[in-house]
């Protein structure tokens, strides 16, 4: 039976790579603690979503990044898929909700897509 809490499990990866030449053998240890992988998922029926950073280019050639929220929710037999721009003032809050794997509808309410 699954636990009802929303605690996030973190997977830490440590690898050892052995490189050998004719003269000597070297062991390299790669520790990937800086990039952790979340194994927490949303419950079935809560929709799917992710934050994506898109690069835009102005007419003068200057490039800049913008955060967008790509989402899907099911309404009856239909699946609605959209992307929504995330304003700077809401970015931190949306990132928190996404890390907690809150239902997509809750995130869309914060983005004022759903009233």
Q: What is the pLDDT of residues 29-84, one digit of tens each?
A: 444 333 334 567 777 777 899 999 999 999 999 999 999 999 999 888 899 899 99
Name the DSSP class of 105. H
Q: Enter the pTM of the model.
A: 0.61
Q: What is the Cα 50 distance to its own chain's centre?
A: 5
Domain ranges within the chain, ordered by starting residue = 48-110
Please check whether residue 77 is in contact with residue 33, taking contact to mean a CB–CB distance below 8 angstroms: no
Name the DSSP class of 102. -
Helix (H) or strand (E) holding 4, with range, is none
């Amino acid at each position: 039976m699954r636990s009802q809490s929303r605690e996030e499990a973190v997977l830490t990866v440590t690898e050892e790579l052995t490189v050998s030449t004719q003269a000597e053998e070297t062991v390299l240890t790669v520790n990937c603690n800086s990039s952790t992988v979340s194994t927490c998922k949303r419950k079935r029926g809560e929709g799917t979503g992710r934050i994506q950073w898109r690069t835009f280019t102005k007419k003068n050639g200057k490039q800049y990044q913008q955060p967008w929220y790509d989402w899907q929710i099911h309404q009856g037999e239909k699946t609605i898929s959209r992307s929504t721009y995330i304003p700077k003032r809401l970015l931190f809050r949306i990132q928190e909700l996404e890390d907690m794997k809150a239902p997509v509808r809750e995130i869309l309410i914060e983005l004022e897509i759903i009233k």
